[in-house]
Amino acid sequence: MSSDRTITITAAPPRALDRLPPHVFFLVSAVFHYLGPSFAVLLFASLAPAGVAWLRIASAGLVFALWRRPWQALVTLSLRDRMIIAALGAVLAAMNMLFYEAIARLPLATVGAIEFLGPIALAAWGMRTRRNFAALALAAAGVYALTGVRISGEPLGYLFAFANCALFAGYIILGHQISAGGAGVSGVDRLGGAMLAATIAALPFGLSDALPAFSDPLLLAAAIGVGISSSVIPYVCDQLAMARLPRASFALLLSLLPASAAVIGVIVLHQVPSLAEASGIMLVIAGVALHRAERA
């Protein structure tokens, strides 16, 4: 057992991963961030959104438990570090629950655009050059176009979407705090602990709605697939990117998310964007292209 613990605590990412630019990890995260939820929308015919959300969180927690065994590493951390991990777990639980309630009522691209409004404030907080202010303005205009072109829909859906937006900003702040690792515990191991905490925090709100999946193996397998593609792949890639990008730069790169949400919405859900929405996507991409990372 001591050998397993040593591997969990001290193992570093393969050198091939170290040689990849952090933007590569972010692009993978951007794709999977909405690919999994787009398939989750298809599960709403069989399960309530809260049930799908809990299955997503729980399946990701199970993967991290089997892969990283995070409890072995977390016992070595200080109380402050463990409190940060627990806080991130609570944020992940609430964020995923609210996100799924939002996409059950609003188009995926609209929720993706609203989700970015919190991160864009974090990006503005860290901007220091005219070039990056211009990049931020372009990205903000794109998000406005994506959000403003669809003012109809359930008011409750918008309430869920904006609450999710605030929590997503919290995820970025806390995610950056754990990404640096330290005390011999990597950011990915800390993330694994946060996912286990999220599974427990979301349990009272989603378990009852998730129960029908346990009597349907295909439905359960689909929900687990959503969890892996929605929470394991993108969150691990986020950690690899956060560890090498300033928080403001990472926050601005998140402006790709509305664009990826719109593209995936077309491919999987056949939610075709209008001309105004397509223009918003192009503005977002232009802002990302103009942005340059700043050194802290």
Q: Nearest CA to 179 among 228, 247, 266?
A: 247
The answer to whether 128 and 176 have CB atoms below 8 angstroms apart is no
pLDDT at position 144: 77
Tokens representing 209 are 């709605």
Q: What is the mean pLDDT of residues 113-130?
A: 72
Q: Write the DSSP string, 51-103.
A: HHHHHHHHHHHHHHHHHH-HHHHHTTS-HHHHHHHHHHHHHHHHHHHHHHHHH
Phi, psi for residue 76 in degrees, rounded to 5: -85, -10
Q: In the chain, pLDDT over 90 holds for what percent of residues? A: 41
Sign of the CA dihedral running 271, 283, 102, 252: positive
DSSP 215: G
Query: How do residues 13-50 score in pLDDT, each as one tens digit?
Result: 555 666 788 888 888 888 888 888 888 888 999 999 99
Q: In the chain, pLDDT over 70 holds for what percent of residues? A: 85
Contacts of 106 (CB under 8 A, 6+ apart): 150, 153, 154, 157, 158, 161
Q: Does the structure show a pLDDT above 50 at 5?
A: no
pLDDT at position 255: 67
In b/e form, how buried is each residue of 64-102, taking b as 16+ CB within 10 angstroms? bbeebbbebbbeebeeebeebbbbbbbbbbbbbbbbbbb
Task: Pick the more confident residue, 107 or 187.
Answer: 187
pLDDT at position 154: 73
Q: Nearest CA to 94 among 171, 189, 35?
A: 171
Tokens representing 235 are 């969150």
Query: How do residues 284-295 score in pLDDT, each as one tens digit?
Result: 777 766 766 555
pLDDT at position 175: 92
pLDDT at position 54: 96
Q: How confident is the model at residue 152 (pLDDT cuts 50, 70, 90)?
A: low
What's the mean pLDDT when you consider all of the chain? 83
pLDDT at position 9: 38
Q: How confident is the model at residue 148 (pLDDT cuts 50, 70, 90)?
A: low
Strand, helix or coil at 246?
A: coil
Q: Nearest CA to 174 among 253, 82, 254?
A: 82
Query: How do residues 246-255 score in pLDDT, each as one tens digit?
Result: 877 777 777 6
Q: What is the mean pLDDT of residues 141-163?
A: 75
Query: How do residues 60-102 score in pLDDT, each as one tens digit?
Result: 999 999 999 999 888 899 999 999 999 999 999 999 999 999 9
pLDDT at position 273: 75
Q: Does the structure show a pLDDT above 50 at 195?
A: yes
Q: Nearest CA to 108 among 272, 276, 294?
A: 272
Lowest mean pLDDT among 78-87, 148-157, 182-191: 148-157
pLDDT at position 6: 38
Q: What is the mean pLDDT of residues 130-142?
A: 79
